[in-house]
Amino acid sequence: MSSQAVEEYLEALYKLSESGPVRQARLAEHLGLSQTAAAAMVKKLISLQLAERDEAAYINLTKRGTKAALETIRKHRLSERFLTDILGLPWEKAHEEACKLEHVISPEVEDGLDRLLNNPKSCPHGHPIPDKQGVVTTLPTRPLSDLGADEKGVIARVSEDDPEMLKYLATLGLMPDVEIVVEEIGPFNGPLLVQIGAARYALGRDLAERIMVKESA
């Protein structure tokens, strides 16, 4: 297994674990691998002490593994910024190109990019760029339900517990990176009246608790 593949897997494992513990099957699905290929890969990561399997059969990154994953993510996102900001590539294209660059960038080039781009905090898609020590400074998010009348924010994520609801909300335009303005709070701590573009919705409080927002840019 090449070091490039290891980096890819670490990156995938890290991203998946952001939304909860990861099972081998989910990893295989995410990477489009067969179960056997995924098993072999997990075995390899464990032998390299980059990952471990806990009692519940979840796969967790070790400290070393996390650091390596964040290093790759940092290179990927710095490359993306470089490709979009300096070279003017479209976002989607930038992602693809950055997937290749992330594996060949040396620490010197990485530092150079960081200086050139003025130490950017996030990639073009809004995801945070880990710093040199592997520390991720995420923009603080809070549930939409914490916002008061006349406050606004940008949807950071919607809880994925209920995929059908997630799909439904997306068809209404309630999805990440969309600006949302709270116009009114229903009486007795009731639902929220929100505005998205030209549309207005009443959102139940329970639902608003599952929508995380960050500060508007």
Partner 1 sequence: MALSCHGAIDKIKGEVDFTFALAGNPNVGKSTLFNQLTGMGVMTANYPGKTVELNIATTTFENHRIGIIDLPGTYAIGGVSEDQWVARQAVIDGDPDVVIVMVDATNLARNLYIVLQFLDLGFPLVLALNLIDQAEKKGLTTNAEQLALLLGVPVVPTVATRGQGLDALMKTAVKVAKNRGSQPAHGTRYDEDTEQLIRELEAGVNAANNGFPHNLSSRALSILLLERDDEFLNAAAKSAEGRELMAQADRLSARIEEMHGKPSPVSLARERYGLAGVITSEVQTLSRRETPLSEKLWRSTTAPFSGLVILAAVLTGLFAFLFFVGSFLSNQFTHIWSLTASPVIDGVIRFVAGTGVVAHTLNWGFDAGIMATLGVGIPYVLTFYFLLAILEDTGYLNSVAFLTDRIMHKFGLHGRAIIPLVAGAGCSVPAIIGTRVLTTERERVVASTLITLVPCSARTAVIIGALAFVGGWQPAAAIFAIVLVLIVAVGMALNSILPNQPGGLVMEMFPFRMPSLLSITKKTWYRFKHFITAAMPIVFVGSIVLGAAYETGYIWKLSAPMAPIVEGWLGLPAVAGLTLLFAVLRKELALQLLVTLAVVKYGPEAKNLLKFMTADQLFVYALFNTIYIPCVATIAILARELSWKKAVGISTFTVLLATFVGGIVMRVLTLF
Q: Least Å distance between CB 107 and partner 1?
A: 26
Nearest to 195, CA basis, from 143, 145, 153, 138: 153
With CB under 8 A as the contact rule, the residue among 32, 88, 140, 148 that binds partner 1 is 32
CA distances from 144 to 104, 110, 122, 167, 209 (A): 40, 36, 22, 18, 6
Q: Which stretch binds partner 1 (CB under 8 A): 64-72, 112-120, 128-136, 202-210?
A: 202-210
Nearest to 195, CA basis, from 214, 184, 181: 181
Report the DSSP beta bridge partners of residue 54: none
Between residues 11 and 71, which has the closer beta carbon with respect to partner 1? 11
Please tell me the distance from the alpha carbon of residue 214 to that of residue 188, in angstroms, as a whole number: 25
Please tell me the distance from the alpha carbon of residue 135 to that of residue 182, in angstroms, as a whole number: 32
Q: Least Å distance between CB 153 and partner 1?
A: 18
Binders of partner 1 among residues 147 to 166 (CB under 8 A) are: 160, 163-166
What element of type H or E holds 158? strand 152-158
Q: Least Å distance between CB 99 and partner 1?
A: 9
Please tell me the distance from the alpha carbon of residue 205 to that of residue 160, in angstroms, as a whole number: 17
Q: Least Å distance between CB 183 and partner 1?
A: 8
Asked if residue 23 binds partner 1 (CB under 8 A), the reply is no
Q: Least Å distance between CB 49 and partner 1?
A: 26
Q: Least Å distance between CB 76 and partner 1?
A: 12
Asked if residue 198 binds partner 1 (CB under 8 A), the reply is yes
Binders of partner 1 among residues 78 to 107 (CB under 8 A) are: 90, 92-93, 95-96
Phi, psi of 201 (to 5 degrees): -135, 150
Between residues 112 and 176, which has the closer beta carbon with respect to partner 1? 176
Please classify residue 18 by burial: count the beta carbons closer than 10 Å to its beta carbon, then call 0-12 exposed, 13-18 middle and 19+ buried. exposed
For binding to partner 1 (CB under 8 A), which residues are involved? 12, 15, 29-32, 90, 92-93, 95-96, 125, 127, 160, 163-176, 178, 184-191, 193, 197-207, 210
